[in-house]
Amino acid sequence: MAITKTNFINYSRCPRYVALDDLKKEKLDSVVTLEEYRKEEEAEYIKELLGDMYDEDNNDLIDVKNEHLEVMLPYYNKVEILAGQLSPKYFEGTFKYSAHTQAQESFDFKKNGIRYLCYVDIYNETKDAFNIIEVKATTTNKYLGIGKTVKDEFGNKKVNSIFQRGDDGIYYLLEELNVNISDYMEEDKYYTYKQKLFKKLDPSGHYVFDLAVQRYIIENDLKQNNMSDKIDKIKYYLAVCNADYVFNGKYENDEPLYETDENGNDIICYFDMTSITKDYLDIVDIERKKVEMYIQNLKIDPVPIGQYCENKKTTVCKYKKICWSHIPSYNSVFNYIDSHHGFKDENGNKYELFDLVSDGIIKMEDIPTNYLNRPKNVIQKNALVNDEPFINEKKIIDGIKQITYPIYHLDFETFPCPLPRYKGEKCYTQSVFQFSLHIEKEPNVCDKEKDHYEFLAYNHSDLREELVKKMCEYIDTKSGGTVLVYNEAFEKTRLKELANIFPEYKRELLKIREMIFDLMNITKTKSSLYENLGYDKEEAKMFNYYHKDQSGSFSIKKFLPLFSNLTYKGMEIGNGVEAMIAYATFPKLNEREFKHKYQKLVEYCKQDTWAMYEVLKGLKKKVGYHD
């Protein structure tokens, strides 16, 4: 088959990809139908979608499976349709996109016996030429977050972005607007920030490269069809979800009606990437020549692994397991905390991570100790080599002393939908659909079943108020105590969001928020907490406990087996992404399937809060602490 845009991006990863893909040269000149093209692109769309739903450092990122595609694709398609429906508000002319016709506009050209092909999300035909609008289910934060961080008049941080909205409501680079760049940032800084857009593996640059490849194919199509006169008249845009848009809660035929919000925001924003993609064309041409060379010289021989493998991203290369087969799953050099910054020896010589791997340093114990310029990495290596956990008993004890009874072990499960579903939500709001609560009324006295309380939304109706009511009923804020969570920023943010949405429960929810203590303060550390307790800065920021089986992670899933005989392995729903996908399938399940999935979700969330109880109890035992 022809080389599609997605093929092109993947084939240019490294010399080995094409050979591993078992590419048949004789098919490189064939025609690809829209149906075949979209099927091929869907997996990439959903990988990107999941990448926006869960950040790259999230321990719950998993391989994208057919189930995920089936569940998430309607949301991506809805974003595409909304972008198409809103386009006439910002652009003149006629529009062709998936909601209107199955025959989306396509472009292709042939070079050296190879056909290059792309279909267009939104084709906007104008009087003199046309515009290309590529839709991505990411948010404006991806681009408005590029720039100089400053403080507003109230002392709050904000970003003076390299993109600003023009009079027509479309976002442009500062240099393309009638403004002084120096009013926003230093001019040299502006061009430094702009370079981020030319890094194809960067989350922001990735989409720009995608659009640039599309532009490259379109322009070559026009040249081969004697339509070069149109090239300079074409504009190229990215359409993305508006991170500032707040849904007003209106529905039509049981579907959200995304009207302009009370602040004048539309659900979709458009970014003019015409000049950037033009600057990208020479780079794309070099990439095309590389791809053709890889095709002509198919070599399956191993090549050095690198950033292009996109390890720990949802867009990870599908052949990573083959190329990384020599890298241990646990305690490799990649499991050193902050290893992406590289390492330095005592003379200040820097060693990049992938260079070390190329030199055969792949296990955690392989790296010379004098390369470990971060004390935390020395602790990691010693815990592994000496088979003895690191423990700062005094810090752990002082941390535990901050906890008062009763303890409410609390955990939320959320669905970060690309499009807001309920009143007051934004795009990708972490919408709480479940909580689990174990109440430990006095030290080490808690029954896994009898002292467990939960709420799980049983359908996709707006059940947030019911959830809030139950949570406020179970947590007695008047009697004091501690709400124990794992990674407090998440629960605190959700509680603040719910308090703003439901003012009648605001006082109670904010009180629950005030009662929060993070168990990770004890397992890992929290500098501000321990500095206030009298520790110096160095000891305060160093973690309190580290076992070789953590393999560089402080996830509750890694701690549970260290302090109990329990594990998440073998659970049907065993991580946050699987929980989110399970909840997303509710409307499609029959009664038997629903009851089964519902119960598995209850079991998973219950495991999270029970894990906190077990870990806290285990830490007390480890340091000999008695309440």
pLDDT tens per residue, range 555-574? 999 999 999 999 999 999 99
Cα 434 to chain center, whole Å? 21
Task: Give 100's pLDDT tier (boundaries 50, 70, 90).
Answer: very low
Asked if pLDDT for residue 297 goes beyond 50, the answer is yes
| Helix ranges restricted to H, 447-548 | 464-474, 488-501, 506-514, 520-523, 527-532, 537-541
Question: Exposed/middle/buried for 214, CB within 10 Å: 0-12, 13-18, 19+?
Answer: buried
State the average pLDDT over residues 455-479.
Answer: 97
Task: Give 99's pLDDT tier (boundaries 50, 70, 90).
Answer: low
CB atoms inside a 10 Å sphere around CB 617: 16
Task: Give 111's pLDDT tier (boundaries 50, 70, 90).
Answer: very high
State pLDDT tens for residues 396-439: 999 999 999 999 999 999 999 999 999 999 999 999 999 999 99
Output 31 or 145, whichever has higher pLDDT.
145
What is the pairing mode between strands 407-416 and 430-440? antiparallel
Among the listed residues 146, 117, 119, the one whose alpha carbon sits nearest the alpha carbon of residue 133:
119
**Residues above pLDDT 70, as percent of the chain:** 92
Among the listed residues 601, 234, 174, 275, the one whose alpha carbon sits nearest the alpha carbon of residue 413:
601
Among the listed residues 380, 389, 382, the one whose alpha carbon sits nearest the alpha carbon of residue 563:
389
| Contact (Cβ atoms closer than 8 angstroms) between residue 53 and residue 428 | yes
Residue 517: in which H helix or E strand, if any? strand 516-518
State the average pLDDT over residues 317-336.
Answer: 95
pLDDT value for 75: 87
pLDDT value for 2: 82
Asked if pLDDT for residue 159 goes beyond 90, the answer is yes
Residues sharing a CB contact under 8 Å with residue 440, sequence separation 6 or more, in sequence order: 405, 406, 407, 409, 446, 451, 613
What is the pairing mode between strands 235-241 and 130-139? parallel
| Contact (Cβ atoms closer than 8 angstroms) between residue 422 and residue 462 | yes
| Contact (Cβ atoms closer than 8 angstroms) between residue 465 and residue 431 | no
Query: Residue 481 and residue 475: Cα distance in Å, rounded?
Result: 9
pLDDT value for 58: 46
Describe the strand order of the beta sheet including 407-416 as a list of residue ranges.
452-456, 430-440, 407-416, 482-485, 516-518
pLDDT value for 103: 62
pLDDT value for 593: 96
State the average pLDDT over residues 243-261.
Answer: 96
State pLDDT tens for residues 189-212: 999 999 999 999 998 999 999 999
Collapsing DSSP states into helix, strand and coil, what is residue 592?
A: helix
Asked if pLDDT for residue 327 goes beyond 50, the answer is yes
Query: Residue 77 and residue 417: Cα distance in Å, rounded?
Result: 13
pLDDT value for 65: 58
State pLDDT tens for residues 375-405: 999 999 999 999 999 999 999 999 999 999 9
Query: Residue 54 and residue 63: Cα distance in Å, rounded?
Result: 13
**Among 36-45, 76-85, 366-375, 415-424, whose mean pLDDT is lowest?**
36-45
pLDDT value for 154: 87
pLDDT value for 49: 61
Instruction: Report domain extents, the chain.
Output: 3-296, 393-623
Mean of per-residue pLDDT scores for the chain: 92
CB atoms inside a 10 Å sphere around CB 549: 15
Among the listed residues 538, 405, 537, 562, the one whose alpha carbon sits nearest the alpha carbon of residue 483:
405
Residues sharing a CB contact under 8 Å with residue 19, sequence separation 6 or more, in sequence order: 294, 298, 299, 300
Residue 89: in which H helix or E strand, if any? helix 66-90
Tokens encoding 75: 């949301």
Asked if pLDDT for residue 33 goes beyond 80, the answer is no
Asked if pLDDT for residue 98 goes beyond 90, the answer is no
Fold of 393-623: Nucleotidyltransferase; domain 5 (3.30.420)
Asked if pLDDT for residue 54 goes beyond 70, the answer is no
| Contact (Cβ atoms closer than 8 angstroms) between residue 98 and residue 76 | no
The contacts found for 82-87 with CB under 8 angstroms, 24 or more apart, are 82/258, 82/267, 82/268, 82/419, 83/121, 83/122, 83/133, 83/135, 83/239, 83/268, 84/121, 84/122, 84/135, 86/266, 86/267, 86/268, 87/122, 87/124, 87/133, 87/239, 87/270
State the average pLDDT over residues 146-167.
Answer: 94
Task: Give 56's pLDDT tier (boundaries 50, 70, 90).
Answer: very low
State pLDDT tens for residues 114-125: 999 999 999 999
CB atoms inside a 10 Å sphere around CB 347: 6
Asked if pLDDT for residue 61 goes beyond 50, the answer is no
State pLDDT tens for residues 505-544: 999 999 999 999 999 999 999 999 999 999 999 999 999 9
What is the pairing mode between strands 452-456 and 482-485? unpaired
Tokens encoding 90: 């910002």
Q: Which single residue is written with the structure tokens 């006082």?
A: 507
Query: Residue 606 and residue 415: Cα distance in Å, rounded?
Result: 17
Task: Give 48's pLDDT tier (boundaries 50, 70, 90).
Answer: low
Asked if pLDDT for residue 36 goes beyond 80, the answer is no
Residue 611: in which H helix or E strand, if any? helix 591-623
Question: What's at 464, amino acid-wise?
Answer: R
Kindly tell me the sign of the dihedral angle through the C-alpha atoms of 589, 592, 593, 597: positive
